[in-house]
Structure 1
Amino acid sequence: MVPSWVIVVLVVPFLAGVSVPLSLQYLPLIVSAVLLGLPHGAVDHLAVARARGREPTYRAIARVVALYGVVGGAYAVAWFLAPALAFVVFILVTWFHWGQGDLYALVALAGVDHLESVPQRLATVAVRGGLPMLVPLLSFPEWYRRVATDLVGLFAPTAVTALQWAFRPQVRAALAIGYGVLVVAVLVVGYARADSVRPWLLDAGETVGLIAYFALVPPVVAIGFYFCLWHSLRHVVRLLAVDDTAVTAIEAGDVRTAFLQFARDAAPLTLVSLALLGGLSLVVPNRPETVPEAVALYLVFIAVVTLPHVVVVTVMDREQSVWS
């Protein structure tokens, strides 16, 4: 797994005043369509059965396909009917899911011992998910507004006015204070309950480092790299850990074969997803004409598939006792 500092070190150039052309800022998100980002959820049809120690059956695969069709389909319709509300749901679901992914990494991969209770783990999910979803709003409100406008504008440009309350200085100030108190409380309680300081230092170091990362790196760049190299890669590691073929390869020192196995598993539904993305581009009321608008369409599609993906990952959490 890519070490934490690989992401956090991206802060350094921006501290030095480096600026990135707008055309390049969207590149990491574009690349995520085929590299880890979209593919990391394309193994959901196999993931739950493997987490239970079983081989996926056609019935199990059909259940996941039905889940995506019903839940994802209903959410896709919501974007057409109430795009501003759908955008808020996207932020909240992604907040939970990205925090959920970090909780698994802390508990199962890092082996932390200071997250002793369910309330602590819920608070950790809130803190970790808030790093990519809230900190950019506090540091780059105009960028956040621009992305919201691009997404909602694909369906109803005037609907974005329903989101303007979130960009008011007093609202952002209240969110900053509340989130800051939560971060401090989670880290202090964790320190008090830690049997070993080193895992707590990892948790605290990642949290503080990511706060700096999302506060200083332009949001589109920051989210693009985080999506691929932090969230998605960690989830891929989780998938490899429940795949007997991949585990055997890793135990033999053949990591390349393990990742090739993941790529083979993910390829069919990644291609299906790209085809569906193309279909979505034909039916949105305002077809994208610029790179930001095309990326906005991609993010809408990511939103649609994230909701059923969260259901799958939540079942995996239960099977793997993440909340125990």
Structure 2
Amino acid sequence: MHDSVVTLFRRTRDVSTAAALATAGVSGILLALGVGGSADWQVWLAVIALAVGIPHGAMDHVVTVPGMQPARMALFIVAYLSVVALAVLAILTWNVLGFALVVLMSAVHFGIGDAAFLKELSRSQSPPKRQAPWWVYAIPAGALPVVVPLTSDQADDALEFVNPVLQQWHQGAGPYVLWLSLLAGVVGVIWLAGRRQYRDALDVIALGALALLSPPLVAFAVYFGFWHAQRHTARLVLEMPDAITHAKDHSPAAGFVKAVLPGLPALLGTMVVAVAITMITGGTLERDYLWIVLVIVWALTVPHMALTWRLDKRALAVAGELPQMARR
């Protein structure tokens, strides 16, 4: 990995961790002071964070299936969007079941993706250090930002604004899932610190603090837009020769921007389609727009997760930590 790309990875990591800790700190102070407020601003913060995060998946079909001829690429995009459309229809039809599957899928995707990001970064170390198994980090890295906010005491209020039928999505198992997620975080921190992976342990602590101290919509917004999307975009730089060239010739930030720009049309398309679906279904922008945007993002995650797994598998396999069968 070129020095400028290593710098990009490290800066991206530092910014995302700082964003989580700062948000947790401010939320903790407001919580201690008993300062509440309308959830409206949280809803729109979530929309903004979704907008920031959407472009990171728009180039997955290019970097994971390179060299495809235009005709085949067109068919691939049609199939991709068809899967998204079916997923949107399924979630809108079976709200609770669809949401529960999305929670599971997102926790797996976020955790493995974050672990793969760290493995890509660790490859730049010389000599490579012996580390804890990747899943020691991946499990809490996925569960803490996804499961904990959705099973906390404030979850019902947040879900009320998203879609009231989702309030009992866990069917009464929320406390158990919450404590298992927190236990995974504690075990992860202890294990990582025992291997002297203090920076990795700090990441887990930051995710736990964000999930526990921040309102659910705020925790989700900051994590998705300023943690997951940023780290995934940094990984895309490795798959885009133009982005690497910009990082080498100009600056790490220039390489990052080069990886973001191709995804902006997808952002515009998602927001326009969300408005259209909201109007067609008889909803209002003030009340229903966030729900529709979330449904589209969750639906996009279905093919996005499948394509990203190829990158994740390669990163983890290079680290020598995937079983032989999983590498095929």
TM tier, shorter chain? 0.7 to 0.9
1:85 partner letter: L
2:291 partner letter: A
Tell me, in whole angstroms, the C-alpha distance in 2 between the residues paired with 1:136 and 1:39.
24
Correspondence for 1:297: 292
1:260–1:80: structure 2 CA closer, same or farther, 3 Å change rule? closer
What secondary structure, in the 3-state scheme, does the structure 1 residue paired with 2:169 have? helix
2:184 partner letter: L
Correspondence for 1:223: 220
Q: Which runs of 5+ in 1 are unaligned?
A: 154-158
Question: What's the % identity of the aligned pairs?
Answer: 19
2:295 partner letter: V
Deviation at 1:253, TM superposition (A): 3.4
1:78-134 residue CA offsets vs partner (Å, 9 max, x unmatched): 123311111111111111111122111221124585555xxx434532211111112
State which drifts further: 303-312 or 262-271: 262-271
Correspondence for 2:74: 62
* Kept after mapping to 2: 8 A contact 1:288/1:297: no
**Structure 1 length as normaliser, TM-score?**
0.80
Q: Tell me which of 54, 58, 61 is aligned to 1:42.
A: 58
Correspondence for 2:43: 26
Tell me, in whole angstroms, the C-alpha distance in 2 between the residues paired with 1:258 and 1:41.
16
Correspondence for 1:102: 114
What secondary structure, in the 3-state scheme, does the structure 2 residue paired with 1:10 have? helix
* Kept after mapping to 1: 8 A contact 2:50/2:224: no
- Report 1:201-216 matches (<5 A): 201-216=198-213
Is 1:13 the counterpart of 2:23? The answer is no
Deviation at 1:290, TM superposition (A): 2.4
Residue correspondences, number: 298
Is 1:180 the counterpart of 2:205? The answer is no
1:39–1:149: structure 2 CA closer, same or farther, 3 Å change rule? same
Correspondence for 1:163: 169
**Structure 2 length as normaliser, TM-score?**
0.79
Tell me, in whole angstroms, the C-alpha distance in 1 between the residues paired with 2:268 and 2:276.
12
Tell me, in whole angstroms, the C-alpha distance in 1 between the residues paired with 2:120 and 2:37.
36
Tell me, in whole angstroms, the C-alpha distance in 1 between the residues paired with 2:55 and 2:166.
30
* Kept after mapping to 1: 8 A contact 2:119/2:315: no
1:8–1:64: structure 2 CA closer, same or farther, 3 Å change rule? farther
Deviation at 1:232, TM superposition (A): 0.4
1:45–1:164: structure 2 CA closer, same or farther, 3 Å change rule? closer
Deviation at 1:189, TM superposition (A): 4.1
Deviation at 1:231, TM superposition (A): 0.6
Deviation at 1:144, TM superposition (A): 2.1
Q: Which runs of 5+ in 2 are unaligned?
A: 1-11, 323-328
* Kept after mapping to 2: 8 A contact 1:97/1:129: yes
What secondary structure, in the 3-state scheme, does the structure 2 residue paired with 1:40 have? helix
2:107 partner letter: W
1:138–1:160: structure 2 CA closer, same or farther, 3 Å change rule? closer
RMSD of aligned alpha carbons: 2.8
Correspondence for 2:325: none
Correspondence for 2:156: 145
Tell me, in whole angstroms, the C-alpha distance in 2 between the residues paired with 1:229 and 1:62.
31
Is 1:318 the counterpart of 2:313? The answer is yes
Tell me, in whole angstroms, the C-alpha distance in 2 between the residues paired with 1:185 and 1:114.
18
1:182-214 residue CA offsets vs partner (Å, 9 max, x unmatched): 33333444455x3xx2xx111111111221121
What secondary structure, in the 3-state scheme, does the structure 1 residue paired with 2:233 have? helix
1:290 partner letter: E
1:94 partner letter: S
